[in-house]
Structure 1
Amino acid sequence: MGGYDPKSPSALFKRLEREHRRSAALWDAESTVGTAVVDPGGEWATALIEAKGPGWSTQTRFTTLLLDPIVLADFAKPLPVRIGKYLRALADLVLSGTAFRIFRHAWRFGCYFLFPFACLVLYALIGALAGTLAARWTNALIGLALAVLIFFGLARWLGQRWPANHLMDLWSFSRDFMRGRRPDAEAQLDRFTAHITETLRAKPCDEVLLVGHSTGALLMLDLAARCLKRDPDFARRARHVSLLTLGSTALKAGLHPAAGKFRADMQRLAADPHLEWVEIQCMTDIINFHRSEPGRLMGLTPAANKPFPLVRNIYLKEMMDRDAYKRIRRSFFRVHYQYVSGNTRRYFYDWFLVCCGPVALGNRMRMKQADLVRRPEGQAPSEHAA
């Protein structure tokens, strides 16, 4: 599950094939992404990925869970409504103390949180200045009308060019979801849950990965709890059942006093000894809680001898060549998408090998970088190819 943006299945799988092909070449491997089959309701799409390298081959059923109906409905609301909902979410996060906890544990993410508000203040200042000047030459009523017109004009124009309007909707959605006020999202997650649990019963596999990127990490954690509730044996449906959160923003809910149900669900996951959670964080990416311990901050008590999550930090300079890194390092959103993009250097975290490699996620995350480089197929000494 990706973040809070609309995604075309055809474009997504085309990009996946391109990025996998780039990474596969690094490991002397090949990857073929089949034609995606889209659910009639347009809520998920699945493609078969076949990969092979020296001494191994795998088949992966890759399913993307689509949030388009929710996101596009939010985007379609009138701009004044979107601004009002964002300001209410902002007030909620500030008055509840959540904003201060966010800044305490990830100040750069806190700045990202305030970006839409800073944009609104800028629009208001420009509108007020223009309105004041107009009032001097005409009258106060005309000046006020011009100020309001300029404010909403800038909010519509610059808010689309910049990601401000998108982020306003994101924070409004996040606030409503953590408070249980998004019945549309609840219903869609229930349909995702039914699809996942029924698929696993019908089509056994060696490894199950529930992957969430950005806000999708928050939703995927919630979805995993739903799967476990619907099917108590969910975490034993395969030899390896793991959660993987990439550039996660789940702590925006985990740190909120009103998100008690979410934390209770996370504790249910932590208590299952068969379920593993791996979180990948990145210093270069401002849209994540870098160097945080989500489980500890949410007060989780994991099963004995099980880190929950196992946190690994990645460094883009080590997974990308110099020119590729220079091209993206100043683009916040491009950096944020590197978790699900192809590497240009061999590295322990590799999106292609996570999805299609012969080693289970948890084992891969515990391997040393030197071992991976010596074994082009990325195979652990104790494992055999799937």
Structure 2
Amino acid sequence: MNILLTGTLWRYLTTSWRFVMFFLWPFLLSLVILGVAGLIVAAPLIAGFSAIHLIWSVPLAAFIATLLVRKPGDRFFMSYLLDDWSAAYDRIHGRNEKLNQRRKAFAEALKRKIEASDADEIVIVAHSLGTVPAIEALADLQRERPDLLARKPVSLLAIGSCLMMIALHPKAKSLREDVRVVMQESPVLWSEFQVLTDIIHFYGCDPARALKIKTANPPLIHRIRFKNVHSENRYKRSKGNFFLMHLLYMRGAEKKNFYDFGMFLHGPFFFRDLMTTHHGKATPLDEEGRLPEDYPEAA
């Protein structure tokens, strides 16, 4: 009810209406199960029997409801989704001390990692709700050690981002400030990939525009099609399950395409170059996967 009363659901709808289908799914499933249980409880009364029959109909309804939660519910990730929303609610209100401690620990771990790294470039991958701790850690690092983010290229690869799931809530002022710090004050390249067939993210959303943040370093938003990245067989298997579809971002590309998760992280090219110089194009490799002879030396 909090999401509804605060106007957050309306903001979800106007920002990316597809996400609302994902948001409503566990609650609609819960209502269906409660409806079935209610009918079982009331069945004796509807049939004209006395209220004494509630002695068996109530336990039966509870048993059937439990089975529905465990069987179809598990198949459709009902418990997982409700836990997901519970965790999001804790993040919005900052009331879970373990999550608050984890934020500090993650920022500290990122700082140590960058300090010790001899890499030419650092790419932070943030999938789904993982975009939230990534943004928080980068913002903390910008406040405490901005020199580390300026020492070498640091990029954020946001895939299937659910950042707006929390950032659009009125109480999420701290997260919106973190987003502002990353966009306005840090040199981090924010590159975000979105897919129409994935309903577990905010397709069509530009975080800077949605949060009304003016910046000279806005996120690069790329909209891709999984059917152009993965084989027909893999794509078809994922279409019937929105969680499998949501995980396709992290599976290796089976077709030569601009979106190539493995190439982004392990290829011979700087991620920044792939996002800018080669934007919208497959990496410049020949059919054998080698660099063309006339191509300047890559990373």
Alignment of 1:68-217 (within 5 A): 91-135=1-45, 136-137=48-49, 139=51, 141-142=54-55, 143-217=57-131
Provide the rounded CA distance (Å) in 2 between the counterparts of 1:370 and 1:348: 5
Provide the rounded CA distance (Å) in 2 between the counterparts of 1:382 and 1:256: 47
Provide the rounded CA distance (Å) in 2 between the counterparts of 1:116 and 1:290: 20
Alignment of 1:304-319 (within 5 A): 304=216, 306=217, 308-319=218-229
Question: For the structure 1 residues 374 and 353, does the alpha-carbon distance in structure 2 shift closer, same or farther, using more than 3 Å as the test?
Answer: closer
Q: CA deviation at 1:146?
A: 3.7
Residue by residue over 1:251-287, the C-alpha shift from the partner in whole angstroms, topping out at 9 and shown as x without a partner, is 0112111111111111111122521111110111111
* Aligned partner of residue 25 in structure 2, secondary structure: helix
Q: CA deviation at 1:369?
A: 4.4
Provide the rounded CA distance (Å) in 1 between the counterparts of 2:191 and 2:17: 23
Matched-pair contact (CA < 8 Å) for 1:278–1:362: no
Question: For the structure 1 residues 160 and 374, does the alpha-carbon distance in structure 2 shift closer, same or farther, using more than 3 Å as the test?
Answer: closer
Q: Which residue does the alignment assign to 2:197?
A: 284
User: Could you list the runs of 5+ residues in structure 1 that have no partner in the other structure?
Assistant: 1-90
Provide the rounded CA distance (Å) in 2 between the counterparts of 1:333 and 1:147: 30
Higher RCO (Cα < 8 Å, 6 or more apart): 1
Q: CA deviation at 1:178?
A: 1.7
Q: CA deviation at 1:362?
A: 2.6
- TM (norm. structure 1) is 0.70
Residue by residue over 1:34-93, the C-alpha shift from the partner in whole angstroms, topping out at 9 and shown as x without a partner, is xxxxxxxxxxxxxxxxxxxxxxxxxxxxxxxxxxxxxxxxxxxxxxxxxxxxxxxxx111
- TM (norm. structure 2) is 0.89
Matched-pair contact (CA < 8 Å) for 1:210–1:224: no
* Aligned partner of residue 211 in structure 1, secondary structure: strand
Instruction: Say which is worse superposed, 198-207 or 367-376, in terms of deviation.
Output: 367-376
Provide the rounded CA distance (Å) in 1 between the counterparts of 2:296 and 2:168: 39
User: Could you list the runs of 5+ residues in structure 2 that have no partner in the other structure?
Assistant: none
Q: Which residue does the alignment assign to 1:372?
A: 283
Provide the rounded CA distance (Å) in 1 between the counterparts of 2:201 and 2:210: 14
- Confirm whether residue 266 of structure 1 aligns to residue 179 of structure 2: yes
Matched-pair contact (CA < 8 Å) for 2:159–2:193: yes
Aligned-residue CA RMSD (Å)? 2.2
- Confirm whether residue 327 of structure 1 aligns to residue 237 of structure 2: yes
Instruction: Say which is worse superposed, 323-332 or 266-275, in terms of deviation.
Output: 323-332
| AA at the equivalent of 1:192 | F
Size of the aligned set, in residue pairs, is 291
Provide the rounded CA distance (Å) in 1 between the counterparts of 2:242 and 2:167: 24
Question: For the structure 1 residues 221 and 378, does the alpha-carbon distance in structure 2 shift closer, same or farther, using more than 3 Å as the test?
Answer: farther
* Aligned partner of residue 337 in structure 1, secondary structure: helix
Question: For the structure 1 residues 213 and 368, does the alpha-carbon distance in structure 2 shift closer, same or farther, using more than 3 Å as the test?
Answer: closer
* Aligned partner of residue 279 in structure 1, secondary structure: strand
- Confirm whether residue 301 of structure 1 aligns to residue 214 of structure 2: yes
Q: CA deviation at 1:155?
A: 2.4
| AA at the equivalent of 1:170 | D
Provide the rounded CA distance (Å) in 2 between the counterparts of 1:117 and 1:370: 41
Matched-pair contact (CA < 8 Å) for 1:349–1:365: no
Looking at secondary structure, tell me which structure has more strand per residue. Answer: 1
| AA at the equivalent of 2:199 | I
Q: Which residue does the alignment assign to 2:136?
A: 222
Question: For the structure 1 residues 156 and 134, does the alpha-carbon distance in structure 2 shift closer, same or farther, using more than 3 Å as the test?
Answer: farther
Question: For the structure 1 residues 234 and 377, does the alpha-carbon distance in structure 2 shift closer, same or farther, using more than 3 Å as the test?
Answer: farther
Question: For the structure 1 residues 220 and 102, does the alpha-carbon distance in structure 2 shift closer, same or farther, using more than 3 Å as the test?
Answer: same
Residue by residue over 1:295-338, the C-alpha shift from the partner in whole angstroms, topping out at 9 and shown as x without a partner, is 11012122x3x2x2110111112112333322322221111111
Question: For the structure 1 residues 122 and 183, does the alpha-carbon distance in structure 2 shift closer, same or farther, using more than 3 Å as the test?
Answer: same
Q: Which residue does the alignment assign to 1:30?
A: none
Provide the rounded CA distance (Å) in 2 between the counterparts of 1:129 and 1:146: 11
Provide the rounded CA distance (Å) in 2 between the counterparts of 1:189 and 1:273: 19
- Confirm whether residue 363 of structure 1 aligns to residue 273 of structure 2: yes
